[in-house]
Amino acid sequence: MKKIGSLVLVLVMAASMAACSDAKKVESKSSGTTDGAEVSRSAEQTTGSEESPAASSDEETGSVDVTLDTKDNFVFKYENVEITLGTEPTATLEALDKIATAKKLDVPSCAHDGTDHVYTYNNMVLTVYQATGSDTGYISGVRLTSDLMATPEGLEIGMSTEDARTKYGDADKTTDTTWVYKRGTSELMLTISGEKIIGIEYMIP
């Protein structure tokens, strides 16, 4: 059983690294920025000698400070623990540790220069992004993994798009397979199949 568990872990890491590689290839071909994103990350460097006002580095230690505006962001609730997208994760992880056990996996970030720390709980996966050179990170994603977990507004996997519209209004951006709601520097993405919600995920784009 241990050999099987180790093999599964290796396969997951390999798949994650392959996905990251493909994502970065696509990103390198695009010169545009993420629509509506007002997020400052240490990995996003300004041109020339200018420095991003939201990201500063310590010349002596080489560390990078990352700041996000989180006051209007989505807040998810796991049992009695509030999880605010974009916030520093230490207090949230400590609160979660008191009520649940998580499996942790560290993988290269698909979208940015750094590491995604992925915590898998019952019915939820929480991701913390840590930029290269940063001493800490921020909560960059929350994904619901079963219909036993609902958003604070009461939306669950398996509900209809009409349920989503009733609870959140019209989406800010839609495709044939996704509805995206924006709040502050965060987003709530619903994955759609027909008129049924098959995925619910919060993220910092």
Domain boundaries, the chain: 2-28+64-203
Do you know the residue count of the chain? 205
Check if the beta carbon of residue 119 is closer than 8 Å to that of residue 93. Answer: yes
Q: If DSSP codes are grouped into helix, strand and coil, which group holds residue 81? A: strand
Q: Name the maximum alpha-carbon separation found in the chain.
A: 55
Match domain 2-28+64-203 to its CATH number in 3.30.160, 3.40.50, 3.10.350, 2.60.460.
2.60.460
- What number is the average pLDDT over the span 42-50? 37
Q: What is the pLDDT of residue 20?
A: 55
Per-residue model confidence as pLDDT tens digits over 48-106: 333 333 444 444 444 445 568 899 999 999 999 999 999 999 999 999 999 999 999 99
| pLDDT the model gives residue 51 | 39
Q: Which residues of 112-142 are buried (b: 16+ CB within 10 A; e: fewer)?
A: bebbbbbbbbebbbbbbbbbebbeebbbbbb
CA 109 to CA 161: how far, in whole Å? 30
The region that residue 154 occupies, defined by phi over 0 for left and psi between -120 and 50 for alpha, beta otherwise, is left
State the DSSP code for 65. E
